[in-house]
Amino acid sequence: MKTTILGYPRIGNQRQLKKICESYWAEKTDKNTLLDVGRSIKKDNWILQKESGIDLIPSNDFSFYDQVLDTCLTFGCIPKRYNNLKQGDKLDLYFAMARGLQKNDHDLTAMEMTKWFDTNYHYIVPEFEKEQTFEFFSSKIVDEYKEALALGIKTKPVLIGPVTFLLLGKEKESNFNKIDLLDRLLPVYCEVINALVDLDVEYIQFDEPCLALNLNNAEREAITYVYEKLHAEFPNLKVFLANYFDCYGENLETALKLPVDTLHLDLVRCTSQLDDILESKLFNPKTKLSLGLVDGRNIWKNNFEASLNFISKASQKLIPENIWISSSCSLLHSPHDLDLEHNETNLPAEVKQWLAFAKQKLEEIATLKGLSSNYKAEYLTLFEENKLANLKRSTSSLIHNQAVKSRVGSLNDTHSQRKSNFTNRQQEQKKVLNLPLFPTTTIGSFPQTKDVRSWRLQLKKGTLSQKEYDALIAKETEKTIRFQEEIGIDVLVHGEYERNDMVEYFGEKLNGFAFSSFGWVQSYGTRCVKPPILFGDVSREHPMTVKWSKYAQSLTELPVKGMLTGPVTILQWSFVRNDQPRVITCNQIALAIRDEVIDLEQNGIHIIQIDEPAIREGLPLRKEEWKNYLNWAVKAFRISASGVKDTTQIHTHMCYSEFNDIIENIANMDADVITIETSRSEMELLDAFVDFKYPNEIGPGVYDIHSPRIPSVEEIEHLLIKAKNVLPKEHIWVNPDCGLKTRDWPETKTALINLVKAAKKLRTEVLEIA
């Protein structure tokens, strides 16, 4: 039996990669230093895995920005607008594709970003056209293999499989099917593989998580075609085929027939799959199985007893040499190292002993191997420790709160129903709010500058008192209110300066959560989150946001929007307990948010935004399970939003989501106003709302806040006219795609001034026509 993992976190255990990349972008660091930091992270990761007892260590799981963007570069899939950069430095081209480039005589938009399956990780969306060609453009995968080899480690390079790569991409023209590009892409895959085989590569891991989705026949046939072809071309290459995040489902038959060396199973997400495979007539016992037993998506200690049961089941049909013990998916989605955590207040020792981060997961994988070996005796203490920790968790008094359980138990339909329907509410709200046509607003956060973050750090260290900290935040909030007044925004926000993150902040205020100090997980590029750890029943002890919203409202006559994170998003972006159904946990959060909404209303806040950017991401990968999820997710949002008067306007916000498949459910959330991300796709994401005749008000984003690029008045106006042509004008709001926290002030100022100008121009035009 051997151990492996599918990938390791690459941001560095102190977020070294984030810091160096951001410094490089700011032209404060040179390229060599950047490359050095990259090399040292890779080296540390490889050595750590080796020392932890991982037998087959991945390479090319490192990335300076995103693994899908890396794949685009590997195969020369570079949109034409970057052609002028192709002769220059490849890393600069790469970052231009990721972030856009507005410098010298360049003005290039970034490529689109979207969610990686059901995770909070965002990948860069490949762009394909009908005449798309491919070439072996970047040798990163080969270079990294050599880099590890030089350290004496023969790795398993990781490559996104060609079918998944194509399916993740976007057809930029409507007259072809991207899957038909396979004939042009596959020869280039062969070239890349050839280069690796020339270096004596034994294993290549092909990630094909599209196998967890509902595929059509053509797509399934593409899988067969690819792996038969690779087998014919490279009969000695060991193909490690990785599916994860769900079962193979109706793709299992296809997978079992493939001439691959190893099939990887995510046994965390899909526990039934091992039986299905072992009992299948199609299963070739010479095929190795990689048992994904250690959860790459959550932070609870593995249950060794349960894992050993899987291993022993597999051992009845397979010789030990044909069994891999592995992580369920890449550990990219896990925080680095629990050993760094020493803050007892945030992470009590009792909770800490239930957890395992990436480094600890390596140890768990090695221990599972030990426990399945002839040296089992040496590992029995670890087994007993694991059993005890899991037992303690299941019986801990920290977890249960009877009052919360009974409140959730007594929820009924009135809790998820506003007092009147939207049309009535809209009339009532018009009377009290008195907003112009095309009202302007922002999504909530304003620049989280280095200063703001350093105040929080100083507060944590004790070098700033709470009072001093609050005074600084108040000043920043006031500055932001004044700025919005000056430039003519209609519905203001307070700026969210008091928050480290839109989920972690609420976690900190709610009972039932613990926090890490260094548990960073990459969300996109250099941006990371520290998901709070939801271990017990959730309740709200005190109001969480009233103080700052009330303060901001006291500064101005204009309406200030209250700002909350919705229950589904808090659930989705936390590490959630796995001892009860998610719907129950979600309803607990929904009730806490509902109480907060009511408190805001009672304190004079008449517009309240409940962000639900993760509602789409939480969708199960297989359509069969959508209905159930959408029912409870939409209901949880409604529970949080329905405690208020008709005159109180509820907003929601979503970003990086495709809405086509779920638009009916989005409408069913019945928010008075929804703001969505649409600008990178040139309003394409609006189509779903138009086709469905979305009944409520809507603010399609007209400023791509994930890029430092500043949109011109004309560009914004162009997008607004697009919206005005397809939506009733009384329903349209004007706002950026998402919050401004990742932006700097100079670009924010110019962009928002342009945004207000564009809205005003449109108002005048409409009035002139009328």
Ligand X SMILES: Nc1nc2c(c(=O)[nH]1)N[C@@H](CNc1ccc(C(=O)N[C@@H](CCC(=O)N[C@@H](CCC(=O)N[C@@H](CCC(=O)O)C(=O)O)C(=O)O)C(=O)O)cc1)CN2
Q: Which stretch binds ligand MET (CB under 6 A): 341-349, 586-594, 617-625, 738-746?
A: 738-746
- CA separation for the pair 558, 555 (Å, rounded): 9
Number of residues that bind ligand MET (CB under 6 A): 12
Known binder of ligand: residue 105? no
Out of 542, 706, 718, 731, which one is annotated catalytic? 706
Active site residue 494: no
| Residue 444 touches which member of ligand X, ligand MET, Zn ion, none, C-beta under 5-8 Å by kind | ligand MET
| Residue 563 touches which member of ligand X, Zn ion, ligand MET, none, C-beta under 5-8 Å by kind | ligand MET
Interacting residues of 236 by C-beta distance below 8 A, sequence separation 6+: 197
Whether residue 171 contacts residue 127, with contact meaning beta carbons closer than 8 Å, is answered with: no
Candidate residues 450, 461, 557, 770; the one interacting with ligand X per rule CB under 6 A:
450
**Residue 21 in contact with Zn ion, rule: CB under 5 A:** no
Q: Which stretch binds ligand MET (CB under 6 A): 22-30, 360-368, 517-525, 733-741?
A: 733-741
* Site residues (CB under 6 A) for ligand MET, limited to 645-664: 653, 655
Candidate residues 57, 160, 502, 571; the one interacting with ligand MET per rule CB under 6 A:
502
Check residue 287 and report its DSSP letter: S
**Residue 500 in contact with ligand X, rule: CB under 6 A:** yes
Helix or strand run (H / E) with residue 591:
helix 582-602
The amino acid at residue 316 is Q
Number of residues that bind ligand X (CB under 6 A): 21
Residue holding tokens 């996109």?
Answer: 524
Known binder of ligand: residue 594? no
**Residue 78 in contact with ligand X, rule: CB under 6 A:** no
Give the contact letters, 732-761, x = binds to Zn ion (CB under 5 A), - = no: ------x-----------------------
**Residue 677 in contact with ligand MET, rule: CB under 6 A:** no
**Residue 443 in contact with ligand MET, rule: CB under 6 A:** yes
* Site residues (CB under 6 A) for ligand MET, limited to 588-627: 611, 613
Helix or strand run (H / E) with residue 171:
strand 170-171
Question: In this structure, what token pair is assigned to residue 635?
Answer: 């209901």
* Least CB distance to ligand X at residue 672 (A): 23
**Residue 502 in contact with Zn ion, rule: CB under 5 A:** no
Known binder of ligand: residue 520? no
Known binder of ligand: residue 617? yes
Whether residue 533 contacts residue 351, with contact meaning beta carbons closer than 8 Å, is answered with: yes
Candidate residues 119, 120, 445, 526; the one interacting with ligand MET per rule CB under 6 A:
445
Distances in Å between the Cα of 403 and the Cα atoms of 196, 406, 409, 484 are 60, 5, 10, 42
- CA separation for the pair 470, 14 (Å, rounded): 28
Q: Which is nearer to ligand MET, 7 or 444 (CB)?
A: 444
* Least CB distance to ligand MET at residue 627 (A): 26
Give the contact letters, 641-670, x = binds to Zn ion (CB under 5 A), - = no: --------------x---------------
- CA separation for the pair 66, 525 (Å, rounded): 6
**Centroid of chain to Cα 284:** 36
Known binder of ligand: residue 528? yes
Alpha carbons within 13 A on the beta-carbon side of 575: 27
**Centroid of chain to Cα 716:** 27
Check residue 716 and report its DSSP letter: H
Distances in Å between the Cα of 526 and the Cα atoms of 10, 19, 44, 113, 518 are 10, 8, 19, 14, 15
Candidate residues 249, 444, 567, 711; the one interacting with ligand MET per rule CB under 6 A:
444
* Least CB distance to Zn ion at residue 653 (A): 6
* Site residues (CB under 6 A) for ligand X, limited to 713-742: 741-742
Cα 436-438-439 angle, rounded to 5 deg: 60
Q: Which stretch binds ligand MET (CB under 6 A): 245-253, 273-281, 284-292, 441-449?
A: 441-449
Radius of gyration of the chain (CA): 26
Residues in the chain: 770
Q: Which is nearer to ligand X, 66 or 147 (CB)?
A: 66
* Site residues (CB under 6 A) for ligand MET, limited to 548-567: 563
Q: Which is nearer to ligand X, 15 or 645 (CB)?
A: 15
In the bound state, the residue with its beta carbon closest to ligand MET is 739
Candidate residues 161, 447, 613, 711; the one interacting with Zn ion per rule CB under 5 A:
613
Closest CA to 151 of 55, 32, 40: 40
Q: Which is nearer to ligand MET, 635 or 741 (CB)?
A: 741
Q: Which is nearer to ligand MET, 4 or 569 (CB)?
A: 569
Q: Which residues pair with 123 in a beta bridge?
A: 114
Check residue 301 and report its DSSP letter: P
Candidate residues 313, 527, 622, 760; the one interacting with ligand X per rule CB under 6 A:
527
Closest CA to 633 of 662, 606, 657: 662
* Least CB distance to ligand X at residue 535 (A): 18
- CA separation for the pair 538, 634 (Å, rounded): 19
**How far separated are the first and last CA of the chain, in Å rounded?**
77
Question: In this structure, what token pair is assigned to residue 528?
Answer: 């990371």
Q: Quick one: three-class SS letters along 553-589?
A: HHCCCCCEEEEEECHHHHHHCCEECCCCCHHHHHHHH
Q: Which is nearer to ligand MET, 58 or 566 (CB)?
A: 566
* Least CB distance to ligand MET at residue 445 (A): 3
- CA separation for the pair 701, 507 (Å, rounded): 28
| Residue 524 touches which member of ligand X, ligand MET, Zn ion, none, C-beta under 5-8 Å by kind | ligand X
Q: Which is nearer to ligand MET, 502 or 762 (CB)?
A: 502
Closest CA to 210 of 159, 160, 277: 160
Q: Which is nearer to ligand X, 90 or 527 (CB)?
A: 527
Known binder of ligand: residue 573? yes
Pairing of strands 122-124, 113-115: antiparallel
- Which residues of this protein are in contact with ligand MET, per CB under 6 A? 443-445, 502, 563, 611, 613, 653, 655, 738-739, 741
What positions carry a catalytic annotation? Answer: 706
- Which residues of this protein are in contact with ligand X, per CB under 6 A? 120, 448, 450, 453-454, 456-457, 500-503, 523-524, 527-530, 573, 613, 741-742
